[in-house]
Structure 1
Amino acid sequence: MSSLLSYLEESRAALDRCIAAPQLAGHVDAAIDTIVADLLAHRPLLLCGNGGSASDAMHIAGELVGRFLLERKAINCICLTSNAAVVTAWSNDYSYETVFARQVEAYGQRGGTLLGISTSGNSANVVRAFETARELGMNTIGLTGQGGGKMAALSTVLIDVPSKSTPIIQQLHITIYHYLCEQIEIRLAPAMDQLPAAKAG
């Protein structure tokens, strides 16, 4: 039976592999550069994922539309998993496989960015969304597990964390996208009417 200590050791080992992965930091920095450039050009950041990754997509949108650490104006970010009417109507009447691609058609802009989250990199609806985004001339950022699956070939920037364990991948994703949110906020701050950081209540 697994113990908490062994699970924490496994989690720490995965973080150590991230630290040792020479390409990971460069890919994360490239993703930040891409997202910031698009946001400065007034193009929205689109996000999608399934299950826990849907929650992660909503989490990122919450941090950017709301705030992460700085008091600032809202950041233009749309989570494609959040509109229950769109998701259920399109999935019921047409196909769950195209539910994100349809919304990319609605909200995507040439030169904009779609960030898709999938632990396997093979989620059919995220893959289809990436295909549509590429057809529209958008940037695609894949946040996946090791190797990137089918999303690897469709990603402008691939952030594939060095693990094949779904829960460990999701933990690494949280760490990475918190850093993304922090850096996006810092980079955009000079272009916004920034106020001093609020004190915790």
Structure 2
Amino acid sequence: MKKEEIIEIINKNRANLDCLEKNTDYILKASDMILNCFKNGGKILICGNGGSAAESQHMSAELVGRFQKNRQALPAIALTTDTSIITSISNDYSFEEIFSRQVSALGKENDILFAISTSGNSKNVIKAIEEAREKKMKVISLIGQSGKMKELSDLVLTVDDTVTARIQEMHLLIIHLICQIVEEKY
């Protein structure tokens, strides 16, 4: 990789940050939804594939553990971590149901599904959203520019890019901002 290519990536992230700055109201709204969920005895179920699975686990760790300060543990579950559940559902049903079956088992009306997909079209994440809707859960989606998840969610946080790595970098920033805002209330 040449120096110019590195600078181009840095400049693209600057542009993404500028776009993100215009969407701070959505970040605040997502944080408020999560705070209300916790206040009403609910929990956050988080899902995604690949890098988004890692971000699911990262978000869950920040909420259950801590982000920056010691505080009470907050109820968040990454649906991406139990290999026995994931492989048994994949084998016995289909990969498309790995998250929806967990939402069916664990989700309740006061809960939120936090769904992450750079494309906004991951079939197993969409099935999880549909199951969450059946259970009257709220859905917050974190996506790239567009996708089917956009029309299925209560709140959508978008990153105006098509490069997976750039989208994931902004997703992590959004997750950290939400965790910081939520943690400030505890």
TM-score, L = length of structure 2: 0.95
Are 1:183 and 2:181 an aligned pair? yes
* CA contact 2:40–2:110 (8 Å) conserved in 1: no
2:115 match: secondary structure: strand
Structure 2 counterparts to residues 66-105 of structure 1, below 5 A: 66-105=65-104
The runs of 5 or more residues in structure 1 that have no matched partner are 190-201
Counterpart for residue 25 of structure 1 = 24
1:179 match: secondary structure: helix
Match of 1:151 among 144, 149, 154: 149
* Distance in 1 separating the partners of 2:18 and 2:135: 37
Alignment-mate amino acid for residue 167 of structure 1: A
Alignment-mate amino acid for residue 51 of structure 1: G
The runs of 5 or more residues in structure 2 that have no matched partner are none
1:58 match: secondary structure: helix
* Distance in 2 separating the partners of 1:102 and 1:127: 12
1:109 match: secondary structure: coil
Counterpart for residue 58 of structure 2 = 59
Are 1:5 and 2:7 an aligned pair? yes
* Distance in 1 separating the partners of 2:87 and 2:53: 14
* Distance in 2 separating the partners of 1:145 and 1:7: 17
* CA contact 2:132–2:138 (8 Å) conserved in 1: yes
Are 1:14 and 2:16 an aligned pair? yes
Alignment-mate amino acid for residue 175 of structure 1: L
* CA contact 2:37–2:110 (8 Å) conserved in 1: yes
Give, in angstroms, the shift of residue 111 of structure 1.
2.4
TM-score, L = length of structure 1: 0.88
* Distance in 2 separating the partners of 1:46 and 1:11: 28
Match of 1:169 among 163, 167, 170: 167
Q: Give the count of matched residue pairs.
A: 184
* Identity percentage of aligned residues: 41
Superposed CA offset, 1:87-143 (max 9, x none):
011101111101100000111011210000000100000000000001110000000
1:141 match: secondary structure: strand
Give, in angstroms, the shift of residue 17 of structure 1.
2.3
Segments of 4+ moved more than 2 angstroms: none
